Amino acid sequence: MTTVNLVERADDAAIAAFLERLINAHPREDGRPVAICLPGGSTPFPILRLLAQTLTDWSGIEVWPGDDRIVPEDHAASNTGKLRALLEPLGARVVALEEGAKPPHFALVWLGMGADGHIASLFPNTDPQVDDAVPVRRLTPDPLPPEAPFDRLTLTIPALLDTDELMFVIRGDDKRAVFDAAQAAEHDLPVARLLGAASQTVTCFA
């Protein structure tokens, strides 16, 4: 089981400052962008908007969504579209997920987690494997979340773990209990599988 560095009661500004320090610690070299993986959902974008106010030059940074709903990019449910609108004006290159894509080694993978223990769009019904040979999969959550009833494209566990830094932002007592139980290997939900296979120290803001 990996080591988890738990940071409690961190507000959005503190998380944005952590992200800025982490991204700036990776030199941007010509022809070799710094690749990071970012989550969708309601929690990340207020943090990313704060980060964009202080980290204003994203040139040389390649941004991959950890997952996305299979909708047009101008749809309100599109993670890629929202990331593109926020970060491409600052110089980032945002990469849309596609089946058959080959994700890079990431400097950072930031994950959220659902109350059912799902990460990215690796929901419990999809039975994600830590040795999945495919880095990107098309999946259908079951049950479909009513707020986003769409098929998904998602990075798989090996692709998410191909990173220097792994972090979570967990909000709410119900999610915290699921995460703590995953860390203690008390269940076999997707988040527990990922933590069990991780070799990095994981930073979790809770």
Q: What angle do CA 120, 72, 137 make, to 5 degrees?
A: 35
Along the 206 residues of the chain, how does pLDDT read in single tens digits?
A: 588 999 999 999 999 999 999 999 998 877 788 999 999 888 999 999 999 999 999 999 999 999 999 999 999 999 999 999 999 999 999 999 999 999 999 999 999 999 999 999 999 999 999 999 999 999 999 888 888 899 999 999 999 999 999 999 999 999 999 999 999 999 999 999 999 999 998 999 99
Cβ atoms within 10 Å of 151's Cβ, excluding its own: 13
CATH number at residue 145: 3.40.50.1360
Q: Residue 48 belongs to what domain range?
A: 4-205
Which DSSP string do the residues of 128-151 spell out, in sequence order?
Answer: --TT-S-SEEEE--SSPPTTS---
* Number of folded domains that form the chain: 1
- Identify whether 143 is preceded by a cis peptide bond (ω within 30 of 0): yes
